[in-house]
Amino acid sequence: MLVTIKTEDARLGMFVHAVAGGWIASPFWRRQFVLTKPAELEKLRDAGIAEIEIDLSKGIGPVAASASPVPVDLDVVAGDIALPDPESPQQLRRRRRGAASAERRAQAVVDASKVVVQAMLDEVRLGKAMNVTALVPVAEQIVESVTRDAVAMLNVTRLKTKDEYTYVHSIAVAALLIHFARTLKLPEEEVSVLGLAGLLHDIGKMAVPKALLDKPGKLEPPEMAVLRHHPEKGHALLSAGPPVPEVVLDVCLHHHERYDGRGYPKGLTGEQLSLAARMSSICDVYDAITSQRPYKRPWSPSEALSRMRSWTGHFDIDLLDRFIESIGIHPVGGLVRLQSSRLALVIEGNDREPTQPRVRVFYDIPAQRFIAPIDLIATIEADPIHRAECGQRWFGERWGTIEADILDGRWSSLESAVPSSSTAKGVLS
């Protein structure tokens, strides 16, 4: 049974179900909890919350007006009240079974797609005419799989061997582009075409000697020059066959261009590159550097995104931030807002659960103050990541110094870095 009481009437042993003003107003990172410490009562009252909603089935109720206050034995309370877990063991097992089932379905789509893609690419390598229409159903299957469970599809395509890289890389880029396009809310017809573009973006590599593609060491300058012609060769192959969408040709030719104009084959700059080309550049590089290659170990998703974020001029940085947001993997050093309305820095990736990195919590948004450091894994059970944030928006030019102090543990220097009220109001919305 739920009962609303004044915050001043709260007492130890009560189960807080909700607070007035919602989750954003709460000074606690947990949505629901039992009051077990005097400091929690004080914190709740100091937050300026007028009322709380308590659950009588999980904790004690308010004291009747005529009754005398009775001291609470917290040992008894702890024995009588079961602290709620966000997920019971049964729910956790059910979720894991569901995730495993989703990955099996996604793997089936990848396996079927791989057969078609490999057959077509092998035919191109042998000089046969390319049948692009055979890939349309493959692109549609990938769209359906990403729609059903994007996380499962992206997980499956990331786990490829170096022997199947050429084929699965195309499927992975297609899946990433589809998911990215959905995040950007592009029209559905554009989403499907981008999937086809992802499948065909590297078709020009079929005109590159296989020994060069599989070389286990660094390419020599003449070898790199040969490889750098693959976008133009792919564009020529696609142009010579039946008509294909212009977006497919665009992505094939320009997915190695850089935002600062130092890419290839045309050296185009950001203003000259289409949205599709800029998206494909991000998706292509991300999948490449998180995959096992003949000449390098794969980087973890968090490490990959952190490095991509540090490459000056390579990508459209605003678009890269949207990509990071779309896949829910935050790079080391990234600033994030947790569900508890606290700011934290990502300090370590998590290969087993890429969307749940280790973070260092350092700032309380509702209170607009720095807090003692807390390191935790950003899980559903702890305090999940709500979204990425921009340090400059919060702290202006001081962000670089503040970030270094947080990482190095120099907490005493942070008190003077509280953002102005105007800045805080701007980011709280």
Judge whether 85 lies within some domain: no
Does 72 map to a domain? Answer: yes
The domain boundary residue, chosen from 294, 309, 326: 326
Q: Which among 326, 345, 363 is the end of a domain?
A: 326
What residue numbers bound the domain in which 72 lies? Answer: 2-80
* 295 plus 343 within the same structural domain: no
311-362 tens-digit pLDDT:
999 999 999 988 988 888 888 888 989 989 999 998 888 877 777 888 999 9
pLDDT, tens digit, 9 for 90 and up, residues 249-308: 999 999 999 999 999 999 999 989 999 999 999 999 999 998 877 667 788 888 888 889
Residue 124: count of CB within 10 angstroms of its CB? 20
Domain contains 362: yes
Tell me: do 384 and 269 sit in the same domain. Answer: no
Categorize the per-residue pLDDT at 417 as very low, low, confident or very high, splitting at 50, 70 and 90. low
167-221 pLDDT, tens digit each: 899 999 999 999 999 999 999 889 999 999 999 999 999 999 888 888 877 889 9
**Looking at per-residue confidence, does 155 or 427 come out higher?**
155
Q: Crossing angle of helices 165-183/188-200, nearest 10°?
A: 160
Of the three residues 277, 311, 326, the one that is the final residue of a domain is 326
The answer to whether residue 171 is domain-embedded is yes
Give the contacts of 171 (CB within 8 A, at least 6 positions apart): 110, 113, 114, 117, 138, 142, 157, 198, 199
183-207 burial, b at 16+ Cβ within 10 Å, e below that, comes to: eeebeeebbbbbbbbbbbbbbbbbb
pLDDT for residue 28 is more than 70: no
Q: Is residue 87 part of a domain?
A: no
Is the pLDDT at 48 greater than 60? The verdict is yes
Residues 292 and 420 in one domain: no
Number of domains in the chain: 3
271 with 343, same domain: the answer is no
- 286 and 188 part of one domain: yes
pLDDT number for residue 266? 96
In a shared domain, residues 71 and 128: no
Sheet of strand 33-34, all strands in order from the earlier edge strand to the far edge: 2-6, 51-55, 15-19, 33-34
pLDDT at 84: 36
In a domain, 186, yes or no: yes
State the pLDDT confidence band at 80, using cuts at 50, 70 and 90. very low
Same-domain check for residues 98 and 30: no
Burial 383-406, CB ≥16 within 10 A → b, else e: bbbeebbebeebbeebbeebbebb
Residue 86, in any domain of the structure: no
Q: In terms of residues, how long is the chain? A: 429
**105-144 residue pLDDT tens:** 888 888 888 888 888 888 888 888 787 888 888 888 898 8
Domain match, 229 and 99 both: yes
What's the CA gap between 424 and 394, in Å, rounded? 7
d(CA 358, CA 374): 10
Average pLDDT (220-237) is 94
In terms of average pLDDT, the best of 32-36, 40-44, 237-241, 330-334 is 237-241
Task: Tell me how far the alpha carbon of residue 173 is from its chain's centroid.
Answer: 16
Assess contact for 286 and 246: CB atoms under 8 A.
Answer: no
191 lies in the same domain as 284: yes
Question: What's the pLDDT score for residue 91?
Answer: 52
As a whole number, the mean pLDDT across the chain is 81
Say yes or no to pLDDT of 26 above 90. Answer: no
| CB atoms inside a 10 Å sphere around CB 12 | 18
pLDDT recorded at residue 177? 96
Residues 195 and 318 in one domain: yes
CATH number of the domain encompassing residue 238: 1.10.3210.10
Of 20-24, 206-210, 240-244, 250-254, which has the strongest mean pLDDT? 250-254
Same domain membership, residue 144 and residue 75: no
Say whether pLDDT at 415 is over 60: no
Task: Determine the angle formed by the axes of helices 165-183 and 150-158, rounding to 10 degrees.
Answer: 150
Assess whether pLDDT exceeds 50 at residue 414: yes
Tell me, what amino acid is at 30? R
- Evaluate whether residue 63 is within a structural domain: yes
Do 98 and 212 reside in the same domain of the chain? yes
Q: How many whole angstroms separate alpha carbon 265 and alpha carbon 254?
A: 7
